[in-house]
Amino acid sequence: MGIDVWQPRTHIHGQSTSVNLVEMDDNWDSLEADIAQCTRCNLCETRKLSVFGSGNKNADWMIIDDTPRQSDNLATTLLSASDLLLTEMLRAIGLDRQEVFITNTIKCSPRGNHEPKPSEIEGCKMYLLRQQALIKPIIILALGVVAAKSLLGTDKPIEALREKSHTLNDTPIVVSYEPAVLLTSSLDKRKAWSDLKFAIQIIKNKR
Ligand code: SF4
């Protein structure tokens, strides 16, 4: 398929020059509790269960989807057909689903699956930053306009952001399409393959 197989890094986490985004005593338990109890935006009023994320908490790859959908099983993320598609794409580059950490930009599903408001995106951003600081990934995949807006502070469309190297606190970010979009667009799916190869090349260049 022309996709390189991912080779995990051998160096130890924590050697990044990133800005320290979390308190020294931050940890996964307190982060999960903060999200579960969060009232930073009005989505807490309709929250059934927050979506924390799942996967390897020491992952090289942190993958950030847009928003959880109310039809999803909120105990995990990116389920259903779009989850299966992403899982297959990761497998094609040699990554098992459990090797990466997958989460959502917004931790509580918007009522009626509406597009998140700027206040909701901004309210939840600190949790992404805390997750980034705990995981210390070597690359972030931002999948969708909401993820890109949160991480990069831009309203530009995916087309204008993909195939470019962005960073957040020294961590490279590759922007691509939301998995759900890929289910209905074979053209975008081909572009998403290209984006994965682009991400691998960025990592190779860092080494
Ligand atoms: S969406 Fe994020 S900011 Fe809003 S209540 Fe849920 S966890 Fe808090």
Spell out the domain ranges in the chain.
28-206
DSSP category for residue 64 = E
> 8: CA distance to ligand 1 center in Å?
32
Which of 34, 44, 63 is closest to 109 using CA atoms?
A: 44
Task: Point out the ligand 1 atom lying closest to the alpha carbon of residue 120.
Answer: 4
Q: What is residue 111's predicted lDDT score, i.e. its pLDDT?
A: 75
Q: Residue-wise over 151-166: b if at least 16 C-beta within 10 A, else e?
A: bbeeeeebeebbeeeb
Does 41 contact ligand 1 (Cβ within 6 A)?
A: yes
Does 40 contact ligand 1 (Cβ within 6 A)?
A: yes
Please tell me the residue having the least CA distance from ligand 1 atom 4: 41
Do the beta carbons of residue 29 and residue 57 sit within 8 Å?
no
Do the beta carbons of residue 79 and residue 53 sit within 8 Å?
no
**Distance from CA of residue 75 to its chain's centroid?**
16
Q: What is residue 112's predicted lDDT score, i.e. its pLDDT?
A: 74
Task: Specify the CATH number of the domain 28-206.
Answer: 3.40.470.10
Please tell me the residue having the least CA distance from ligand 1 atom 6: 108
Does 120 contact ligand 1 (Cβ within 6 A)?
A: yes
Task: Point out the ligand 1 atom lying closest to the alpha carbon of residue 116.
Answer: 1
- From residue 19, alpha-carbon distances to 126, 168, 182 in Å are 14, 9, 34
Q: What is residue 29's predicted lDDT score, i.e. its pLDDT?
A: 95
pTM assigned to the model: 0.86
Does 121 contact ligand 1 (Cβ within 6 A)?
A: no
Which of 165, 158, 152 is closest to 199 using CA atoms?
A: 165
Digitized pLDDT (tens) for each residue of the chain, 207 residues in all = 455 665 655 433 333 333 445 556 899 999 999 999 999 999 999 888 888 999 999 999 999 998 876 554 444 444 578 888 999 999 999 999 999 999 999 999 887 768 889 999 999 999 999 999 999 999 999 999 999 999 999 999 999 999 998 999 999 999 999 998 898 888 999 999 999 999 999 988 877
Helix, strand, coil % over all residues of the chain, rounded to 5: 45, 10, 45
> 15: CA distance to ligand 1 center in Å?
30
> 173: CA distance to ligand 1 center in Å?
23
Q: What is residue 72's predicted lDDT score, i.e. its pLDDT?
A: 46
Q: What is residue 67's predicted lDDT score, i.e. its pLDDT?
A: 83
> 61: CA distance to ligand 1 center in Å?
23
Task: Point out the ligand 1 atom lying closest to the alpha carbon of residue 41.
Answer: 4
Q: What is residue 17's predicted lDDT score, i.e. its pLDDT?
A: 31
- What is the strand order of the sheet 54-55 is part of? 54-55, 101-104, 61-65, 139-143, 171-176, 166-168
